[in-house]
Structure 1
C-alpha cells in the first residue's frame, strides 16, 4: 500500500539509491506513477507492504517501508532491486553503483569518486561542514533529521582528523 513519505514512522526502514547524474524534471515526472505503483503493489510473502518511493534532491531514489506493518523478505528486497534496475534502464542512469559519494556544494549535488576523497579534503574542496548525503542511513527518522549532514558528523569524520606526527 502506497503512503506518502511524511506518513511513514521514524522507525520505517529506508533504502537510498543514488543516480550518477541529476534527473531532469520531465524524467522525474515520467517515473512518478511507476514509483507510486511499485510502492502500492510491493508485497512480502503475499502481504501488502506499507511503503513509499520517491526521488529526493532530483538524484536519489528513496524507498521506505513501515516494518511495523510487515517486514521486507528476501523476495521483496529482490523485487525492489529488480524495480531499481528497471528504472536504470528507463532513465539511462546508474542507481546501483556505489563508488561515488554525494555532497551538497553551492546548493548543487556533486559526486566525488571515493578514491578522490583524501585529496578533496587535503585541498579544502571538502570541509568538515560540507553537507554529505550518507546513503547508508537505514531509518526514515534519520533521513528526515540528518540527510544531508555535515561530513564531520558522519563516517567521514576520520578524514578530517589531523594526521599523527611521525
Structure 2
C-alpha cells in the first residue's frame, strides 16, 4: 500500500526497547487496529509500523478520508491499552531517544541534560524528532543530528564545545 508524502503520522516512543516477541505481538494488534480504523464511518487508509523495537508509528493517508477528532481519540485509547498490556509508557514526552553507536537509547530529560554536559551526547549525536507530522517529515526530519533538531533550542547551551 503506497502512502502519500503528505500522509499524517503519529510517533509513539516506548520508554524501553521492546523484545522481539513483544514487537511481533504489538504489530499484530496494530495491524488489527488500523484495518478497522474509521472516521465518521469511512475506512481510513492506515497502517502501522514498529521501528527499532521502540517506536510505534501510525500512518493515515488522508487523500481518501481524513482522521477526525474521534478517530484520533480511538488511536490514543488504543495506545493506552497497549501501554497497560505490555507495561510500557508511550506518552512520556520527556523521555528522549538518541543513538549511541548502533544502539538506540532513551533517557529522562534530566539524564539527557547530564549526558550533554558530560559530552556523551554531542551536536552530532542522532536524536529522534517524534514531533514529525507527515510521512515526509518522518523520512527527512525524524532521525537528525542534535544540532539540526528542536532539541538544540531547548538544550543547546548544555553542549560541550
Normalised by the size of structure 1, how large is the TM-score? 0.88
Please tell me whether residue 8 in structure 1 is matched to residue 23 in structure 2: no
| Cα distance per residue 1:81-123 (max 9 Å; x no partner) | 1110111122111112222110011111111222334332222
Please tell me whether residue 80 in structure 1 is matched to residue 103 in structure 2: no
Matched with 2:91 is: 96
Matched with 1:144 is: 139
Q: 1:94 to 1:118 in 2, by over 3 A?
A: closer
Post-superposition offset of 1:162: 8.2
- Unaligned 5+ runs, structure 1: none
CA distance in 1, matches of 2:26, 2:17: 14
- Unaligned 5+ runs, structure 2: none
Query: Is the CA contact (8 Å cut-off) linking 2:18 and 2:54 kept in structure 1?
Result: yes
More displaced stretch, 149-158 vs 43-52: 149-158
Matched with 2:15 is: 20
Matched with 1:130 is: 125
Matched with 1:160 is: 156
Please tell me whether residue 65 in structure 1 is matched to residue 63 in structure 2: no
Post-superposition offset of 1:144: 1.6
CA RMSD of aligned residues (A): 1.7
CA distance in 2, matches of 1:54, 1:85: 17
Count of aligned pairs between the two proteins = 158
| Cα distance per residue 1:44-101 (max 9 Å; x no partner) | 0110000111111110110011112111111101100111011112211111222211
